[in-house]
Amino acid sequence: MSLDAVLSRIDSDLPAATDRLLDLLRIPSISTDPEFKADCDRAADWLVADLTSLGAKIEKRPTPGHPMVVGHIGEGAPHLLFYGHYDVQPVDPLDLWDRDPFDPELQETDKGQVIRGRGAADDKGQLMTFVEACRAWIAENGKLPCKITFFFEGEEESGSPSLVPFMKENAEELKTDIALICDTGLFESRVPAITTMLRGLLGEELTITGPSKDLHSGMYGGIAMNPIRVLSRIIAGLHDATGRITIPDFYEGVPEISNALKAQWDGLNFDSKGFLGDVGLSAPAGEQNRSPLEMIWSRPTCEVNGIWGGYTGKGFKTVLPSKASAKISFRLVGQQDPLKIRENFRKMVEDQLPEDCTVEFHGHGASAAGQMETGDPAFEAARQALSDEWPDTAAYIGCGGSIPIAGYFKTILGTDAMLIGFGKDNDQIHSPNEKYDMESFHKGIRSWARVLDALSG
């Protein structure tokens, strides 16, 4: 099988591939709004028809919500699963769009041609890069170089309520050697990347109660305990002077990155001043003696997301409040146990409560971090394949956020996930005027063709 012939086919077929993507983008598959249920069905049907034309045995599978699209094609090793989602975000506020979000078009910009429309980057354009790579392989060689399972969902943008039950019910069918996910991007919009670290997430809400009702600060100020004062002291004590988090045993399970990975990250020449400058900041505020990329990708965090209590309306009210509340989130890495951290955090708070104060907790999710086994030769083969396509050498990177599907592949199917995407920082996903660069679409298709060749050996 000739990779060069496949790449040439991708180049010559790019106009037709773009037309197919534009056709899919015209379907308003907004999963969170019941008014678009039929359109989500229509998008699933579109994918079934398109993959059937490639020779895949593909089905639309019902769920309590929007359907899954599952199918298989090819034979031989390795057996790869490719995941994507066909649903999109709502388009509000509509008046900030320059054109109908579901009337996509190619546009010329000062930085090249882009595909403009809802779902162009998240995730229909990314999804179709892989499908088009498969199409080119089949067109040139009559078959794919290995066995592939397609797994597309229609609820990613609405919390994926059907995903875990579906995966558990169909685990045997979905188990493969490696899962591929195309819902990430290029590092700083230029460097091809394989995301190998995903931070977990723990959410905690607490309310501290002091007096049984709000009090007059003149009559009770000084003698009565103020719960805002208590909460403020607790929050202030969550970090020490060096930026380390003070919860007991918090760093248990936090690994140090290897020297080789640290060198890769240093080679990315990340502009932290520019990154922070875009939001009006200048100095990294995490743990001392950690690089900016370590702070974002490989170190855990504790952040206050909201705090309230007492009178917050217009004017002034001299009240001593009965209650004070806060929402606090933790981004987790490595083998940190979110349930143990929750337990230790709550005990730390309770141990600092003065007499006459009580606390109530409400948890908001608890998911562990994900870390891919890059020692698998497939990862290095894929990284080299990406490097062959792009001007910059591909890198293993982390992700400051959480991508639950990658963790589900590991915990439910026992499969490591390889996250490769071609989005750019300015794609405006979830926002008005979403776009996907033609360079990302074209070179994304070529990249997947190279990755399939590399993984198939």
In this prediction, residue 89 carries a pLDDT of: 96
Whether residues 221 and 275 fall in one domain = no
Whether residues 416 and 352 fall in one domain = no
In this prediction, residue 388 carries a pLDDT of: 98
Whether residues 437 and 403 fall in one domain = yes
- Given phi > 0 = left and psi -120 to 50 = alpha, else beta, which region is 433? left
The rounded average pLDDT for each run of 10 residues, N- to C-terminus, in the chain (457 residues) is 93 98 98 98 98 98 98 97 98 96 97 97 98 98 97 96 97 97 94 94 97 96 96 98 97 95 94 93 94 96 97 94 98 95 98 97 91 90 98 94 86 94 95 97 98 95
Q: Map 44-81 to HEC letters.
A: HHHHHHHHHHCCCEEEEECCCCCCEEEEEECCCCCEEE
Whether residues 106 and 45 fall in one domain = yes
Q: Which residue, of 338, 367, 396, is where some domain finishes?
A: 367
Distance between CA 156 and CA 89 in Å, rounded? 9
User: For position 314, which CATH number holds?
Assistant: 3.30.70.360
Place of tokens 């079934």: 48
- 147 beta partners: 79
In this prediction, residue 169 carries a pLDDT of: 98
Distance between CA 116 and CA 191 in Å, rounded? 22
Q: Please tell me whether the overall predicted TM-score, pTM, comes out greater than 0.85 for this model.
A: yes
Which of 394, 384, 422 is CA-nearest to residue 124? 422
Domain total of the chain:
3
User: For position 94, which CATH number holds?
Assistant: 3.40.630.10
The dihedrals phi and psi of 58, each to the nearest 5 degrees, come to -125, 145
Distance between CA 341 and CA 347 in Å, rounded? 10
The dihedrals phi and psi of 209, each to the nearest 5 degrees, come to -115, 130
| Cβ contacts of 55 within 8 Å, gap of 6 or more | 73, 138
Q: Which residue, of 367, 402, 420, is where some domain finishes?
A: 367
In this prediction, residue 374 carries a pLDDT of: 85
Distance between CA 449 and CA 166 in Å, rounded? 29
| Contact (CB, 8 A) for 368 and 437 | no
In this prediction, residue 223 carries a pLDDT of: 96
Distance between CA 285 and CA 243 in Å, rounded? 7
First to last CA, the chain: 11
Whether residues 40 and 168 fall in one domain = yes
Whether residues 178 and 70 fall in one domain = yes
Place of tokens 């640290």: 262
The dihedrals phi and psi of 50, each to the nearest 5 degrees, come to -65, -45
Positive or negative torsion for Cα 334, 239, 293, 329:
positive
CB neighbour class for 314 (10 Å; exposed up to 12, middle 13-18, buried from 19): exposed
In this prediction, residue 156 carries a pLDDT of: 95
| Cβ contacts of 185 within 8 Å, gap of 6 or more | 193, 421, 422, 423, 424, 425, 427
Whether residues 419 and 381 fall in one domain = yes
Whether residues 24 and 58 fall in one domain = yes
Place of tokens 């931070």: 199
Q: What Rg, from alpha-carbon coordinates, does the chain have?
A: 25
- 324 beta partners: 208, 309
Strand 68-73 and strand 57-61: the pairing is antiparallel
Q: Which residue, of 342, 367, 392, is where some domain finishes?
A: 367
Cα angle vertex 391, ends 390, 394, to 5°? 60
Strand 193-198 and strand 395-399: the pairing is parallel
| Contact (CB, 8 A) for 330 and 400 | no
Whether residues 119 and 230 fall in one domain = no
Whether residues 137 and 176 fall in one domain = yes
Whole domain around residue 243: which residue ranges? Answer: 200-254+300-367
Structure tokens at 395: 């890198």
CB neighbour class for 277 (10 Å; exposed up to 12, middle 13-18, buried from 19): exposed
Strand 323-332 and strand 200-209: the pairing is antiparallel
Distances (CA, A) of 308 to 181, 227, 323: 39, 11, 9
Whether residues 41 and 108 fall in one domain = yes
DSSP letters for 216-277: EHHHHBTTB--HHHHHHHHHHTTB-TTS-B-STTTTTT-PPPPHHHHHHHHHT---HHHHHH
In this prediction, residue 407 carries a pLDDT of: 86
Whether residues 356 and 386 fall in one domain = no
Distance between CA 347 and CA 248 in Å, rounded? 9
In this prediction, residue 1 carries a pLDDT of: 64
